[in-house]
Each structure stands twice: as structure tokens, then as C-alpha cells.
Amino acid sequence: MLNENICKANLSLSGLTCASCVRSVESTLNRLPGLVPSSIKVNLLMSNAVLEFEENQLSIDQIKQAILDAGFDVEDVKLEKKYEKPSLIQQPITIISNDPSTHDDKNAIRETITKLIVGGMTCASCVSAIQHSLDSLKGVIEAHVNLLTGEATIKHDLSQIGIRDLIQYVEDTGYEAELKKNQTNKKNSIRHRAEKEQKLLRTRFLLSLIFAIPTFLIEMVFKMILPSDNPLIKVISHQIIPGLEVGTLILFILATPVQFILGYPFYLKGFRSIWYSRQANMDTLVAIGTTVAYFSSILNVIIPIIHRDDKPGHQFFETSIFLMTFILLGRWLEAKVKGKTFETITKLMELQPDKATLITIIYDDDNNENIVEKEIDLDLVQVDDILKVTPGAKIPCDGKIFRGTTSLDESMLTGESIPVTKYVDDEVISATVNLSSMIWIKATRVGSDTTLSRIIELVQEAQSSKKAPIEALADRIAQIFVPVVISIAIVDFIIWISLGSAGKIPSDWIPDNQSYQIFSLFFAISVVVIACPCSMGLASPTAIMVGTGLAARFGILIKGGGEAIEMAFRLNTIAFDKTGTLTYGKPKVVETKILYEETKEAREKLLLQIIGVVESSSDHPLAKAVSQYISEQSSSEIVDSEKTTTSSNVTLESVTETPGRGLQAIVRINNAEALDLLPNEKPSSTYKVFIGNVKWLQENGCVYPSHVTKRKATFTLRKWQKVGYSVVLIGLLSQDSKGYILAQMGIADTPRPDAAKTVSELTARGFEVWMITGDNPVTAKTIANQIGIVNVLAEVTPEVKAEKIKWLQRKGVPVKPPNKFLQLFKRKNGQRRRAIVAMIGDGINDSPALAQSDLPISISTATDVAIESASIILTRSTLTSLITLVTLAKAIIRRIRYNFLWAYIYNSLAIPIAAGVFFPIFKIGLRPEIASLSMAVSSISVVLSSLWLKRFKEPKY
């Protein structure tokens, strides 16, 4: 059981610019008591931090303050409980009640937090009245009303009470209430943050440009182009006091606000990062570089003034101004390019409509319907609302068709362009398009609980998931990058100034009116501002952001982030579950054999009733198939589409499901025919029922009746198994009696039409493909032959499935040289390496194997537990998405490697060039302002490289 005090927080941050910033935040958070260190994940591209903490030791306000102290802003906070509620998890059935409603999906807890703005409160009594009214409502878990802010924060169960109901109850109390818009209207929150950052950086750049343009005119135009006797030059060169020119004073006035007002965020974040997190970042480098240029200029100006020297000192205030201007330009351009990487997620968000048409049905005295239509915000839609959807409109939320028939375009989810016809009670999914006729739908999932919202949430969470191993090197480098760069700059300055003082620098190397000290200092400043940890920090997140967005478009949800992508890249072995994965998972009973010696319709009908009631208690696909078959075959009231524990003649006392084996139940019979259920046994009203595979019935002592020979029974079973049927046996025993096998059923499950093509393609690409199933070896081999799988593990129970995955990992795969040329020189000594195994499953029984595998993959029709265990979810109904997954993963990892390679090459070459290593050869150096522009170009080029992934095309099969 997970600690109920553990909370998960997702904090939206601003001010993250490089990998060193990420390290600063992580280092700051790691020092907070009560925070789970392994849970801290800070994402540069998403500008967010995801973490877990203990509520009784640490508050969210303390976390926010720590981040603020480190120099970064917290824009938004999303909190949720870490522990899971048992009602949301499908567990094996042990005891079931007689109330069929307990299995209803509506009983699943769907907690959410709603904030209302409440008007009209004047005192503590108002607060007490509203809070008491809310606390008394069914479905409200907790309510808090704040008089000062005029807000009510309500934690409630969406399946029991919706937002409109809460507003109505507050208004009934006598106060005004409305939904706090910025809470749920988060459709464009990511885009809004990106646009806000771009706008801020653009404003700062344009402001710096106001100071840079006159500086450029004075230094690069007037002084270089105009003759010395020009009146303007004379004014600029006029000395106010000895050693201080008018032009110098103007540049000082222009440089100071740029340095300390526009540059203030660099100082704040750069030095707070050092003070609070003991980590220097990119802002530290910018602050140091511009500060050195600014104060060195002041020093050069002050010295001649003190000595009352008529020859003014060499100032370079323009370097400080141009440095800041080019850095802000680079940051703005980088933010604009980074914003492109969010496009896939924001396009997903835009699929959801903003409004919905609410239908209210009012009956008059003559029972005639009066329909009232009202357009409401999508945020106000509640579970069980009736909504009208016109042709061409999008479905506003998940639901079921209440009235009408139509065709829907579900391509946004399934990738299938063919319209799907929907009838009354058929499920519809949010954001799919109504094509043909007007329908009414009944809302079943709303707000953040809809399919589309969960897809968006998964894609966003993928960005903050565990990092890929390839990112570990970048993190280690980022940790020492800034200190190393500063050390290189200091050493570089010492070397050049030593050469200058020793007279080793030729005079033609140093520009006119410049001392060797300034000449040396420029090299050091260039080193500081050209180094770019940003490019390394963006190399992986940008590629992962674009890649996961693309994957979502192709029906692949990557929950595991960078680690899952790298596992897919390194993958070499794939294990499939059979039922529901390689097959449709919708088996049908095609053969039935009742094993009584004499045919008695009433007795056989009662036996079918018993089987139907017991099987209806299980969610296993084979159990559902049997339950459905009996329901169709029988004309009496046995089992409907809902689960039940009783029929007219049979009452289910208890049932236990053993995964991989079958069901064991106790039933009570209210029928005289029960006297004849077991051959040659004393009559009883209570029976034990065993339904499952051959081994399960043998373990429980069930045998065939004496008139059924073993050869005859085995022949039938073998015949069914050879054509791919799964066999289910039914056994009964009463107290103190022998158990008898009284029926056997052959169940067929059709393989997915693309399964054989997928397996063939995977095999051709060098993957080792396995099928792991609990079915018998004969049936398993038959299905495997139809699909083209050679390696089969049959009769594997759920707990053993995980052991088989571990065995596959240990068994390994042959070590192959990276290319065919090296294979010629490689000795064939049978070396093997650990296999990277993916498990594809869909049921509760697959969850141990999914957890053991290196890459757990589930399909969209899987149970909640299987989806929770998976790192990747395939939302389309086709297995060929696996081919897309491995192809895309290779493209993403290759792009990450290219990005890292470029970032390392850039810094490896740029720093020596800026340091003047090649100056003696080429006589060309980088001025600091040009170096700062080069730094921005490096980051932008990495982001543009990641955006190249958008050209990826889904493989054709």
C-alpha cells in the first residue's frame, strides 16, 4: 500500500534556459526534507518540474519558495495524490455480493478539484454557511472557503456531483458563484506559456535595440566614416573634463540601463543559482561576461580622469551593450523555434470543442416531451448530461449515444479514415467528428477524464518521465560545464596577459588605441559568452518532444519518455500475449459437448444456467465468450450483458478466480432437477463448480463420467486444439462426492488480420519474436503457425510469465558487429549479450510480465492495470503500429545523437577559437558580441535539427 501522505506535484516554471538551470533546480529540490529524491524530474523544454513529497513534512509553498530562491519563477502548480484508490484497479475476484450494481463503472472514484469564485461573502458566518452546505453534499470529499480571496476549493467525485451542481448549491445558499476560468481552461496553457516567454524576450530585445542603435551609430558609423573635422565628431570627441569625452559619457549612459535593468534577470538567476543550489548556469556566464566588459570599460575611463590625462582611456561600453542585445536576440529566436516543438501537443488540445449544447427534457401533464437547449462551456458538462451533437460538429466528451444513429470520423484516435456507424448505446469518444446526422449523447467521462485529455496528459508526462541513458552523459557534463568554462577563461586571460607583459604579442596583432590588457580580456570574455550548455540541454528534450508528439499522431502513446524510446531503439526480442493481443480478444464458443449419458433438456438447461452465472462473474475473455453464448442459447432469464450473481434457479454463493487456471465457485440450486445433476451421486442443493482448463479440473479431482472413455474425450479435445480452439471444461461436485466433468466447450478467437504481416516484418528486421500464452501447446502452436511465430511458450501461468521474460533476458541474443564489414573479421565464438525484451499484453494476467520486461507495451483495449504497467500504449487497433514505433524510435535516437554530436563539436571548436588558440595562425579573433551571437546560433541549430523529425513518414506495409 502506498503512503497516503505522498503527493505528486507538477510545477510549471519560467526561466529555465540550459541544462545547468535544470541541474540548479534539481540540486535545490534535492536538499529539501520530505521530498522523494528519485521522483524529481525537471524538464528544460516543457519548463516544468515533477516531484513527489510527504505532506506531513513539506508543503507546496516551501517547494515554491525554494525554487524562487534559486532564481526561477513558479507559474502554476498541479497537485494530486500519489496513492491509488483500490476501486480504480481491477483485482481478481474473491467474493462477490448479490448486488449487480457493484460492478458498475459509475462506482469508480473520479476525484477532481474545482475552484469557484464566490461573491457576496462578508464575514466568517458566510464562510461557515457555504462550507457547511458543500460538506453536506454527496460526492464532496473536502471543501475549503476563503473569505479573503473569495474562492471555494472543492475536492469532489465527478461521477457523483458535477461543477454545475456545485455552482447551483452555492447559489441556493444565497451567494453568487462561477467557475474560476484559469483552473480548467488549460487547453492552450503550454502555448500560452511559450507565447508569454517569447513576448517577454522580444520586449527585452527591442528595448535593448533602442540602446544598441545609437551605440552602433556612434561607434561603427560616426567614428569610422566621418572625418575628424566633422562637427559631429568634434562634439563626440569633446572632453568635458580631462580624460572624459562626450561620446564616452553617452555610451556609459546607454550601457548602464542595459547592463543592470535588462540584464537584471541574468544577475538574479545566475548568482541565486550559485548561492542556493551551488550550481553555476548559463545566466552566470552571461552575467560574468557582460559585467567584466562593463566594469573594465569604467576602469579604463576612470584611470585617465584620475591622472588628468588629456588622452582618454580605451572604453568598450559598446561590447557590453552589443553582448546583451545579441544574447537577448538569441534567447528570443531560440524561444520562437522551441515553440514549434509544442505544435503537435497544442494541435491535440485544439481538437476539443469549447462549447457543448445541453439538452434538458421536461415532461408536461400529458407526458409530452418539452426540449430545452442551452449552450454551455465545456468545463460545465457533467456526467449523465444529455448533449446534442449536430452533423459536422465534434463530440464534446466521452459518452454513449442516447438517441439517433450516425457515422463518426474516429481517425484522430484510430488512424482509420473509414467512418464508423454508431447506434444507440454505442460508445463515442471526445473530439471525434459527427459526419452524417444529429445525435444526442449521454456523457460518461468529462473534463480531464476524457480519452483525449488522458492522451494529452500522457504525452505531457512523457516529457518528464525517466531520462534516456543517452542523456546521462549530458547531465554529467552540464554539472561541471560552467565552472570549467570560467576556469578556461581565467587561464586564457592569464596566458595572454603574461605574453603581453613579456612583450611576446606583436604590435600588429593589437588593434589601434587598445592595450594588451584589453586585448587579452576580450579573449576571456569571448570564451565565457560563446560556451553553450543550452545546446547540450536541448539536444534530447527537443527531439523527444517532437518524437512523442509524432508518435501520438500515429496512435502510439509513449508514457515512458526518453527511457522508453531508447529501449525501443535497443530492442531485439518481442514477446506477445496471445488472447486479445495477437487475436481480437473477442472469442466465440463454436463447439459444445454435454457429457450426460441420457439427454434431459431440463437438466442440461440447468447446467447451462450454472455455467452462465459463474462465468458472468469474470472479466476473462473466455469467460465472457461462454457467458454470451449461454445468454444467446437460452430463452430463459439467465444472464444478461451485465454481471449477475443469480438466476431463477441458481444462486452464486461465492467465486474465486485463479489466473491461468480458471474459476471455482459455490452455487445453490432451487430446482428439483438438481437431484439429477451428478451421475450416481446423492442429491444436493449446493455444488462446487470448477470451470477452466484440463489441468485445473484434474487438480481439483474432476474426472469424466464412466460412460465417457478417456480415448473419446482426448480425441475431441485434440481435434479442437488442432484447429486452434481454446478448450474450457466444466466440472461439478457436491459435498463428500466425486467431481465429474459434465461439459466441454471449444472457443475460437480470430487472429488479427495484420498480426502475420507484423510478425513477418519484425522477423525480417532481425527481431526475435515469441508468443507466451496460458493456452495448451496444441492450440498455441496452431495459432502461432497461422501468424508465423516459431517460438512458443504455452501453458504459462501469469506468475510464470514474468519468469519467462526474465529467462528471455538471460538467454540473450548473439553479439553482432555493427556492420557487415566487421563481421568478416569477427570470430564466431558464440558470444551472447543480454536481450532487451518488449512484452505486449492486454490483461491483468500480463501485468507481472509487463513489469519485468524492458519495454512494456499495452494495447488500447487493455485493462487499467495493464495500461498502468506499460511504458507505451498502442491506441490503434492494428499491430503494425509496432513497426512504426521501432522505426520512429531509431529516428529519434539518431537525431538525439546528431544533436549531441553537434553540441560537443560546437563547444570543442568554439571555445578554442574564442580563446585565441588559432589567432597566431589566422590573425582573426572573435569579438565578444559576435561570440554571443554564435552561442545563440548553436542552440537554435539544435532545435531546428530536432524539428527535422517532423519530416518522418509512417512506414508503408
Among 283, 577, 775, 846, the one annotated catalytic: 577
Residues with Cβ within 8 Å of 375's Cβ and at least 6 positions away in sequence, in order, are 355, 356, 357, 358
- Sign of the dihedral defined by the CA atoms of residues 279, 284, 288, 294, in that order: negative
| Dihedrals phi, psi of 460, to nearest 5 degrees | -70, -40
List residues bridging with 151 in a β-sheet: 117, 146
Residues with Cβ within 8 Å of 220's Cβ and at least 6 positions away in sequence, in order, are none
Residue with cell 469474470: 618
Coil vs helix vs strand at 583: strand
- Rounded to 10 deg, the angle between the 282-306 and 317-340 helix axes is 170
Identity at 629, one-letter amino acid code: Y
- 590 close to 746: Cβ distance less than 8 angstroms: yes
| Dihedrals phi, psi of 387, to nearest 5 degrees | -120, 140
Q: In a 10 Å sphere around its CB, with 0-12 CB exposed, 13-18 middle and 19+ buried, how is residue 202 labelled?
A: middle
List residues bridging with 8 in a β-sheet: 52, 80
**Could you confirm whether 398 is annotated as catalytic?**
no
Longest Cα–Cα distance of the chain, Å, equals 129
44 grid coordinates: 528544460
- 615 close to 663: Cβ distance less than 8 angstroms: yes
Rounded CA separation 584/877 (Å)? 9
Question: Among 693, 702, 708, 706, which Cα is nearest to 737's?
Answer: 702
Residue 465 burial (CB count, 10 A): 22
- Rounded to 10 deg, the angle between the 881-915 and 928-947 helix axes is 170
Rounded CA separation 46/131 (Å)? 37
Question: Among 179, 58, 189, which Cα is nearest to 119's?
Answer: 179
563 grid coordinates: 527511457
Rounded CA separation 747/684 (Å)? 31
Rounded CA separation 914/844 (Å)? 60
Rounded CA separation 413/874 (Å)? 10
Residues with Cβ within 8 Å of 819's Cβ and at least 6 positions away in sequence, in order, are none
| Dihedrals phi, psi of 651, to nearest 5 degrees | -120, 130
Long-range contacts at 918-923 (CB < 8 A, ≥ 24 apart): 919/509, 919/523, 923/509
**CB burial string 686-725: b at 16+ within 10 A, e below:** ebbbbbbbbebbeebebebeeebeeeebeebbeebbeebb
948 grid coordinates: 527535422
Coil vs helix vs strand at 258: helix
877 grid coordinates: 487497433
| Dihedrals phi, psi of 410, to nearest 5 degrees | -105, 20
Question: Among 264, 125, 294, 136, which Cα is nearest to 200's?
Answer: 264
Catalytic residue list: 577
